[in-house]
Amino acid sequence: MNQSFHSHAAAANAELGRTSAVPRNERVAILCANWHRDIVHQARDAAVAEFARSGLSPSQVVHYEVPGAFEIPLLAKKLARSGRYDAIVACALVVNGGIYRHEFVTSAVIDGMMRVQLDTEVPVLSAVLTPRDFHEHEDHLRFYREHFVKKGVEVAQACLATLDNLGALVEPGRE
């Protein structure tokens, strides 16, 4: 099915005041780092809810966990090459613990994810947040839990828009 159909059908439903989503046929993998799991899973859960609102059933969204953000690019590459997923979403919180390592990890993870999507042509989207200042007191914990909900919705919307854009492309010889 042409993915641009989903955009047009969703727009038509919105104009008519309908709230039900048009079913979609894509499969998405969500990778979550276990560091700060209580915060990171806010993004995962919000993304899953947004996918469901947009027509992906829960069975089309598969969850994976990795020890930390540093392990995301390798699993993303393996999943992309498996051919089972149309897109991959990564969620993590890389905090500055007062050592230089945080900047190295951040760069390695984001660069690795970009390389995976360019090498495999499977979109890899990021809800990997790297705040400059993070302290484990209740104000920051509450702020980041709420912020990750927003980022989960945004990454799901970006994922679906990317899939729609890619689906609308017609490759030579595949018309």
Q: How far is CA 110 from CA 33, 37, 68, 117, 126, in A?
A: 14, 19, 13, 11, 8
Is residue 76 pLDDT above 90, yes or no? yes
Half-sphere CA count of 66, side-chain side, radius 13 A: 22
Is residue 120 pLDDT above 90, yes or no? yes
Q: Say how far apart CA 61 and CA 119 lie, in whole Å.
A: 22
Is residue 47 pLDDT above 50, yes or no? yes
Q: Which residues are catalytic?
A: 101
Quick one: pLDDT at residue 68?
93
Token pair recorded at residue 92: 């993590």
- Span 121-165, pLDDT tens digits: 999 999 998 766 666 667 778 877 888 899 999 999 999 999 999
pLDDT: which is higher, 69 or 173: 69
Q: What's the whole-number mean pLDDT along residues 19-45?
A: 90
Is residue 17 pLDDT above 60, yes or no? no
Residues 109/69, Cβ–Cβ less than 8 Å:
yes
Residues 138/146, Cβ–Cβ less than 8 Å:
no
47 burial via Cβ count (<10 Å: 0-12, 13-18, 19+): buried
pLDDT: which is higher, 100 or 128: 128
